[in-house]
Amino acid sequence: MKALVINSSPHMDKGNTAMVLAPFLEGMKEAGAEAEVIYTRKMKLAPCEGCFDCWLKTPGVCRHKDDMAAVLPKLGQADIWVYATPLYVDGMTGTMKTFLDRSIPGALPFFEIRDGHNRHPGRVARKERGKIVLVSTCGFWESDNFDALIIHMKAFAKNADREFAGALLRPHAGALGAMSQVKGLVDDVFTAARNAGRQIIQEGKISPAALKTVSRELLTKEMYFENVNRSFQQTLDARVKK
């Protein structure tokens, strides 16, 4: 089974998003999957111009000659698409949205009715329905900050004719790195992410228990606010002194 992982964090493999994504990928690989990670920050990726060339002039081929040309065939071959993004202004990063926009050549211009809804058929026929998994982190304490992003990704999954197989969400992610330095404090979060990776490959789904543990409360809202505000104030004070 092949998984294509798109990480749109500007911090790539060093950020909070990677802290959740890394054990998830380990679990997938332990279960026998092939997983390739692509960082949008490293890509030359022009925005979609809405020219319809990829549908009508050069079917399946975008007018932009950039790194997306090499990625599109990989999307068609992958059984699982993993989209990893930090929460930016209630949604995904700009590069992730551009990536999704540029995946349009993978669809045909024609309309079909699928599940009672107007959709575009895919250009590549698949024997089995593929899956989509979301991995996201945010600095805010509450999990409902992910709601708009989840709605977007579920809609995208329907349009791509893929199953939305779950979301690994880590609110108040700013605390995760510091707490991971103390043995035992958040080990269960990383174990749950790894288990989720195994489950999506072995069982085709992720257990609610694993997702709940990945998102579990790390510390109270009041403690988190106090720690974050103190840290920012100390940074600002230090810069003023310079």
The string of pLDDT tens digits covering residues 106-115 is 999 999 999 8
Interval 20-29: pLDDT, tens: 999 999 999 9
User: Which of the pair, 175 or 233, is modelled with greater confidence?
Assistant: 175
pLDDT band at 49 (very low <50, low <70, confident <90, very high): very high
Q: Tell me if the pTM is above 0.85.
A: yes
| Backbone angles phi and psi of 11, in degrees to 5 | -90, 0
pLDDT of 101 above 90: yes
Interval 127-165: pLDDT, tens: 678 999 999 999 999 999 999 999 999 999 999 999 999
Interval 196-211: pLDDT, tens: 999 999 999 999 999 9
3-state secondary structure 33-63: CEEEEEEHHHCCCCCCCCCCHHHHHCCCCCC
Half-sphere exposure of 118 (CA within 13 A, CB side): 3
What confidence score (pLDDT) does residue 233 get? 83
pLDDT of 46 above 90: yes
Mean pLDDT on 215-221: 95
* Average pLDDT in the chain: 94
List domains and CATH numbers for the chain: 2-241 (3.40.50.360)
Interval 2-17: pLDDT, tens: 999 999 999 999 999 9
Q: How many CB atoms are located within 10 Å of the residue 196 CB?
A: 27
